[in-house]
Amino acid sequence: MSVEGALSRGILHRAAAIIGVGHTNWVGDAERTKRGEKPHTGIGYAALAFLDALADAGLSQNDIDGLIVGPTVPYERMGEILGINPSWSGQADSGGAILQACMAIATGMAETIALVYGNDQRSAKVEYGGQNAASATNYLAYAYHAPWGMTSQGAIYALMARRYEALGGLTEAGLAQVSVALRASAMLNPNALLRNPLTVEEYMAQPYVCEPLRRPDYCLINDGGVALIITSAERARRVGNKAVHVHGIGRSDLNTDASSLQGRLTDFYYEGQRKAAAASFDMAGVGPSDIDVIQIYDSFSLHVPLALEGYGYCRRGDIARYLTEQGIGLSSSRPVNTSGGHLAESYMQGWNHQVEAIRQIRGACGARQVEGCRFVHYSADVAGKCVSIVYGPGD
Q: Which CATH class is domain 1-126+221-242?
A: alpha beta
Q: What burial class does residue 115 get, using C-beta atoms within 10 Å of its C-beta: 0-12 exposed, 13-18 middle, 19+ buried?
A: buried
pLDDT for 8 equals 46
Same topology between domain 1-126+221-242 and domain 153-217+246-395: yes
153-217+246-395, superfamily in CATH? Thiolase/Chalcone synthase (3.40.47.10)
pLDDT for 6 equals 38
Q: What are the DSSP calls for 353-375, one per residue?
A: HHHHHHHHHHT--GGGPPTT---
Q: Is-contact 127 104, C-beta < 8 A? A: no
Q: Is-contact 270 284, C-beta < 8 A? A: no
pTM confidence score: 0.94
pLDDT for 241 equals 66
Q: Rounded to an integer, what distance in angstroms lies between the CA atom of residue 133 and that of residue 143?
A: 10
pLDDT for 3 equals 33
Q: How confident is the model at residue 5 (pLDDT cuts 50, 70, 90)?
A: very low
End-to-end CA distance of the chain: 14
Ranges of each domain in the chain: 1-126+221-242, 153-217+246-395
Pure H helices in 58-171: 75-82, 94-106, 140-145, 153-166
- Is the Cα dihedral 357, 359, 363, 368 positive or negative? negative
Tell me the per-residue pLDDT of 172-222, one tens digit each, with 9 for 90 and over. 999 999 999 999 999 999 999 999 999 999 999 999 999 999 999 999 999
Q: How confident is the model at residue 140 (pLDDT cuts 50, 70, 90)?
A: low
Q: Rounded to an integer, what distance in angstroms lies between the CA atom of residue 336 and that of residue 330?
A: 8
Looking at the chain, the whole-number percentage of residues with pLDDT higher than 90 is 80
Q: Rounded to an integer, what distance in angstroms lies between the CA atom of residue 168 and that of residue 315?
A: 13
Tell me the per-residue pLDDT of 76-130, one tens digit each, with 9 for 90 and over. 999 999 999 999 999 999 999 999 999 999 999 999 999 999 999 999 888 887 7
